[in-house]
Amino acid sequence: MKKAFIITILLVAAFFLSIALVQAKPDKDTDSNLPEVNGTYDVPGHPELKIRIHVYPAKDVDKAKPAPSTTVAPLLVCGLDPVSDAVVDPADWHLKSGDWKYKINTSSVPASVGKSNLATITSLAFTEWQSKTDLNGKVIFVSGSTTVTQAKNDGQNIIAWGKAPGSALAVTYTWYYPSTGLVAETDTIMNQKFPWSWTNQADHPNCADPNSYDAQDVLTHELGHWAGLNDEYSPAYVNNTMYGYGAKGEVKADTLTAGDISGINKIY
């Protein structure tokens, strides 16, 4: 009886120990459930950090269906490159001086954009922010590659196509230190569910495919968040790169307005 009692006690103890270990087991991917709504959030396990989520919605989300596969070049629609003096508001962070390394996932790029074009698209978008603002000479963007398609606090600053919520063309996740305002990491995920294209503005100025979202246009907007700007939603900002809604056939965000430039220059 005594032996049986001891065995029972040991089994019960082992049972409760196993429960404790399961509960204490760390999540392999603590960022797998990142918020998908605009806002600033605490970072579990990192009280020194905050994460800011910028969701960039499509104005014509009801029509946001993947473009059919075709080898026929789209008929481009051309317009003007509008201007705006409305100054964009800064966020709560800025990039550190010196090299800022980012990584692109070419394998995630839709065929309609072209995997080989992503390096050019990202370079053009970063150059727009760097060369026309006070970032010039202070922050140097250095490219690399990655296979990651999900935003996570892993020390990589990524640009990739992947899963994004509902009507979001893209989502940018910024981890930063509120005490200093320095960015720790930033990731941009372009929504793979939407129809995408890219029109090289060197060949077709102010032209775009009216049935898809231009990759450079959307990415240039997202990189404004990397640099430290918020979205703007009022009609005064409709021509700004940092206007809070994207649309098919747009390329106006490829080039910064005076208001976008002034917003960055207030930070740097």
3-state secondary structure 42-58: ECCCCCCCEEEEEEEEE
Predicted pLDDT of residue 209: 97
pLDDT confidence of residue 31: 52
Q: Measure Cα distances from 86 to 100, 125, 229 in Å.
A: 28, 21, 13
How far is Cα 213 from Cα 4, in angstroms, rounded to an integer?
Answer: 71
Architecture category of domain 39-267 in CATH: 3-Layer(aba) Sandwich (3.40)
Residues of the chain below pLDDT 70:
1-32, 61-73
Instruction: Output the pTM of the full model.
Output: 0.85
Comparing CA positions, the residue from 238, 265, 258 lying closest to residue 59 is 238
Q: What are phi and psi for residue 8, nearest 5 degrees?
A: -60, -45
What distance in Å separates the CA atoms of residue 153 and residue 27, rounded to the nearest whole number? 13
Residue 26's pLDDT is what?
A: 33
Give the pLDDT confidence score for residue 5 in this predicted structure: 41
Q: What are the pLDDT digits (tens) for 73-118?
A: 679 999 999 999 999 999 999 999 999 999 999 999 999 999 999 9
Going through 83-182 in order, the beta strands assigned E by DSSP cover 98-104, 139-145, 158-162, 168-176
CA-CA distance, 62 to 238, in Å (whole number)? Answer: 20
Domain boundaries, the chain: 39-267
